[in-house]
Every structure is written in structure tokens, then in C-alpha cells.
Amino acid sequence: MKKLRIVYMGTPDFAVPALKILVENNYDIAAVITAPDKPKGRGQKLSQSPVKEYAESAGLKIMQPTNLKDPDFQAELAALEANLQIVVAFRMLPEAVWSMPEIGTFNLHASLLPQYRGAAPIHWAVMNGETETGLTTFFLKHEIDTGSIILQEKESISPTDTTGEVYNRLMEKGAGLVLKTVKAIENESYELKPQDENQTLKHAPKLFKENTELKWTEPAEKLYNYVRGLNPFPTAWAIINDKKYKIHQSSIIDKDSKGEAGKLITDHKNYLHIQCNPGVLALEIIQPEGKKRMGIADFFRGNKL
């Protein structure tokens, strides 16, 4: 067995279960690297990352560099003499950092690589109506999300799943996969598998205002998938009667009917349907700009279209 000394890198809640399972299995965590504390809320009080909160509770050494290329940080990292680094939901690493350990640095990515390389793999899998996604552990190399695969696990996506629901399942399943990967490395019982580039690849770019808008000229089924794929964050949005609305929940009335894209079909009391191209989408929970989210019946009590 190879004796491991690990540096763990992560920031959001997604990265906590994997760190926790390593601690509970008595692995030597030399340090935890996470994002610097950030001002949050009205009072702009400094807020710790979920990973930092857990690391503090577990009595682990914490490092919060603002610049991963800083020679002082890299010298401190090298002095830890770790032989393995693990990255879960962190940021891009310079080569001097990811190539430092003897064994290397592996990443947990929330897709079945090479599909959905990029910053938002869970969102795009749901937004594209996939019925399956999963998790991959792989060793880092120069090109993002392209390194040799260590292990993978699949996860099904139901037609009603939101990104939030898939995220929570993958967060827990990811902890188990990280532990399996560490044990395989410890026992030197794994075979690296190059990513198969000979297929049509789907990507998972960052989400911006431009790629989260619902356009009524598109099929109702696609827009329905966008709504659940952007739930709970950052939330799909659309223009209705020249005003911007966030769309939190929707359903499909039909997939095939054709008509004037964007036409409102409503009784102005209990339902709000919109003609797409093709199909009709029912809006169920919406949020006018500057107001709270609300169901359609509540919306019509105080608003007119």
C-alpha cells in the first residue's frame, strides 16, 4: 500500500461530503485549500466557505490563497510534502500547483467525461434533457477536463428532476467516488483510461444572462428543460409583455401545437400558458423583476397582463 498525504482543494457545499468521508476514514489531510472569506449580505460581514467551516470543525490546517501563482503560497504548499492533491469544485490550478505532488492531482467532475466539460455540467445535462449523467475522477493535465479517467459512476435523471435535485444526489455520491478513487490509488489498483474524443461532445459553459433566457420561438419541451435545469440557480428568465420575469417552475401543455410564438393563453386568474414553436408551456411559479416569486393565481391577484 502507498502511504498517502493529501492536500484537499474545494470551496462550496458540493465539496464538503468528499472531505468529510476522507477525514472519517482517517486519511492524512496535510491541508485544506479553499477560497478567501468574502463579504456577504447587507452588513457585508465576512463569510466563510462551507469547506472552511467543515475544515475548522475537524481541526484541519486551512490555506486561503488569493493568488495560486504566488511563490510564497507555492513554497508553503511544497513544504507540506503531500504526494496527492484532490480537487472538488475549486478553481483552475496553474501547472506548478497541479503537477507538484508525486502521484499527481485528481479532480471530481460532475459528468461522464468527456461529455459536459466545463463550469456547469449538471445544469447543462438537465437543460439538454439528458436521462443520464454521472461523476468522473481524473488526473489533471494542461487542457481543462481532459485528463485520464480513474473511475466513473452513472446517475439517472428523471423528466421532472431539477438541477438542485441532481446536484444533491451527485454531491453525496461524489463523496463515495472520491473515497473509492483514493483507495484505488492507495492500493495501486487502478488503470487509467484516456478520454474518448471520437464522439460528438456536448459542453457545459458558464451560465450568463445570454444563455439562460427562454425564447418563445423555441420548442416548449426545450424551454421546460431549461426551467428545471436552471432551478434553483441562476433561474431561467423571459420577456412577457416587454417586462422581464424569472421563471421558477413550468410544465408542458403540449409539445406539437403551432401558433404565434409568445402568444399568451390565459384566463387572467388561474393559468398562464404561452405558445412556443412548437408546443405550449404553462408557467407555474414566476417572479416579476424586483418582486417575490409567486404562483400564477397569486400573481394575477395583484398584476395584469
* pLDDT surpassing 90 at residue 206: yes
Residue 147's pLDDT band, with cuts at 50, 70 and 90, is: very high
Phi/psi zone of residue 126: left (φ > 0), alpha (ψ -120 to 50 degrees), beta?
alpha
Mean pLDDT confidence for 233-255: 97
| Residue matched to cell numbers 428543460 | 225
pLDDT of 29 above 90: yes
pLDDT at 41: 79
Return the biggest CA–CA distance within the chain: 69
Region 246-274 average pLDDT: 97
CA pair distance 299, 204, nearest whole angstrom: 34
**E strand or H helix that includes residue 73:** helix 71-79
Predicted confidence (pLDDT) per residue in 88-125, tens digit: 999 999 999 999 999 999 999 999 999 999 999 999 99
* 204 and 111 Cβ atoms separated by less than 8 Å: yes
* pLDDT for res 205: 97
Q: Under DSSP, is residue 299 helix (H, G, I), strand (E, B) or coil?
A: helix
Distance CA 231, CA 176 (A): 25
**Is the pLDDT score of 43 beyond 90?**
no
Give the pTM: 0.95
CA distance 92 to 108: 13
Residue 20 C-beta-side C-alpha neighbours within 13 Å: 17
Domains of the chain, each with CATH number or no CATH? 5-186 (3.40.50.170), 209-302 (3.10.25.10)
What value does the mean pLDDT take over residues 79-92? 97
CA–CA dist 232, 293 (Å, integer): 12
Q: Classify 166 as helix, strand or coil.
A: helix
Instruction: Decide: 201 and 114 in contact? Cβ < 8 Å.
Output: yes
Given pLDDT bands bounded at 50, 70 and 90, which one contains residue 256? very high
